[in-house]
Structure 1
Amino acid sequence: MSRFVLLKVLLGPLLKLFFRPRVEGIRQIPADGPVILAGNHLTFIDSIILPLVMERQVFFIGKDEYVKGRSLRGRLMAWFFTAVGMIPVDRDGGHGGVAALMTGRRVLEEGKVFGIYPEGTRSPDGRLYRGRTGIARLTLMTGAPVVPFAMIGTDRVQPGGRGLPRVGRGRRITVRFGQPLDFSRYEGMDRDRYVLRAVTDEVMTEVMRLSGQEYVDMYATKAKAA
């Protein structure tokens, strides 16, 4: 039994008990082959909830600091995050963005599912922010379809992305998947910045439609800095 399956067996019932997640449109995800999951990012537990509701294992990039702890707590965190599919990358280095892009490409070329938050960071206020074009580069380089998704309600369960998740009335979580997006019409144009922006904006439009969030045409990192 793989660690991912073991984790689902152990935590799946608890997830259902405490958060009663509603999963919509999961059949939109192809049963095999490379797939990019692209969605909004409201709080820290998004990356915990998403893998646990999936039928296929989803791999995603995470901060390498999550797996560097040497204490018992640190080792448990490292086991958990790698079990759910996190691939640690030093994103703070000068080549962090390139490393993340190449890691995603490798995952997709192996026929797996790669998850990405195009906003690049958690939303500071619950609104949906402008997507970064890494998502476009990945789909154009690999030919993998993009399945947009929306996390709804996770920010009420864990406001601010910190502390223990809250449970109780009115805090139900919904994970909603949309129809796969095919960008094969742009094949060979992964260096055209206008194409990259058009592809990214199309993905974000679908995420906005699924989530119902207000859209802000600004990068979330700039909004946080302000």
Structure 2
Amino acid sequence: MFYWLLKYVVLGPVLKCLFRPDVEGLHHVPAAGPVILACNHLSFSDSIFTPLLVKRRVTFVAKAEYFTGKGIKGWLMRQFFVSTGTIPVDRSGGKAARAALDTQLRVLRSGNIAGIYPEGTRSPDGRLYRGKTGVARLALESGAPVVPVALLNTDEIQPTGRLIPSIKRVRMRFGAPLDFSRYADKLGDRFVERAVTDEIMYELMTLTGREYVDVYASSLKTAVVAPTPAPAPEASRSPGV
């Protein structure tokens, strides 16, 4: 009930009035049954707009620290994540990725929508980066279709480091569902999981029109703060090429 009130009575109407969403292809999201929304990741606000603009409940996972803040700021952040259907996950330690996938599998097995960012982190410069294969494992293990979701300008609305977003029309594009049932017996095959991930990233590249970089965004971010330079990324390539 609290989630419904915040989404449909409080946050949803306010955000739609302020940001006047321009959304294409929303009909591609099935009206029922398990679905994976695979989104590119440009801004913190991606986790605001996607759940509030899709009619069904969309569940993302976020690190548990977002739910444990103190004071007014901590309370507001908790309420925001609750209102968008986000689930806290302990992402410390080596089993963090598996814990996040297990949480999303439970969402899908309940017939609901799981949201995931295949890049694993926000793009450092607006380009699209190599996808991690967790999205493929989620698709193969659940059997759910994957709907690619392109966030087109959220990096302009709320660039990394900016607390208060600019009031600007948000633009999103939903692609046709991708069916990977032909690989149902290939779970655990790393070559198949890479191929599935690359197919998803290719669709995101097409939908966003953004340049694709064939390295992990997290590796690039690490290289920025590391004392030794990393090899230059290969740009302007299609995923898996």
| TM range, smaller chain | over 0.9
Give secondary structure in 1 for the equivalent of 2:27. Answer: helix
Contact 1:128 1:215 in 2 (8 A): yes
Contact 2:89 2:99 in 1 (8 A): yes
Whether 1:133 and 2:130 are equivalent positions in the alignment is no
- The separation in 1 between residues aligned to 2:140 and 2:99, in whole angstroms, is 17
- The separation in 2 between residues aligned to 1:148 and 1:5, in whole angstroms, is 28
Per-residue CA distance 1:131-153 (angstroms, 9 max, x = gap)? 00000001100100000010011
Matches within 5 A, 1:127-166: 127-166=127-166
In structure 2, the CA distance between the partners of 1:201 and 1:161, relative to structure 1 (3 Å rule), is: farther
Counterpart for residue 55 of structure 1:
55
- The separation in 1 between residues aligned to 2:24 and 2:161, in whole angstroms, is 24
User: Which structure carries more relative contact order (alpha carbon 8 Å, separation 6+)?
Assistant: 1
Give secondary structure in 2 for the equivalent of 1:188. Answer: helix
Counterpart for residue 186 of structure 1:
183
Task: Report how far residue 2 of structure 1 moved.
Answer: 4.3
Give secondary structure in 2 for the equivalent of 1:187. Answer: helix
- The separation in 1 between residues aligned to 2:160 and 2:2, in whole angstroms, is 32
Return the letter of the residue paired with 1:150.
A
- The separation in 1 between residues aligned to 2:63 and 2:53, in whole angstroms, is 22
Contact 1:43 1:161 in 2 (8 A): no
Whether 1:175 and 2:172 are equivalent positions in the alignment is yes
TM-score, length of structure 1 as denominator length: 0.95
Give secondary structure in 1 for the equivalent of 2:186. Answer: coil
Return the letter of the residue paired with 2:48.
I
> What percent of counterpart residues are identical?
58
- The separation in 1 between residues aligned to 2:6 and 2:74, in whole angstroms, is 19
Structure 1 gaps, min length 5: none
Per-residue CA distance 1:165-206 (angstroms, 9 max, x = gap)? 012xxx421111000000011012111000000000000000
Counterpart for residue 20 of structure 1:
20
Structure 2 gaps, min length 5: 224-241
Per-residue CA distance 1:7-27 (angstroms, 9 max, x = gap)? 332122321232111111111
Contact 1:4 1:84 in 2 (8 A): no
Return the letter of the residue paired with 1:214.
E
Counterpart for residue 203 of structure 2:
206
RMSD, aligned α-carbons? 1.2
Counterpart for residue 65 of structure 1:
65
- The separation in 2 between residues aligned to 1:39 and 1:6, in whole angstroms, is 23
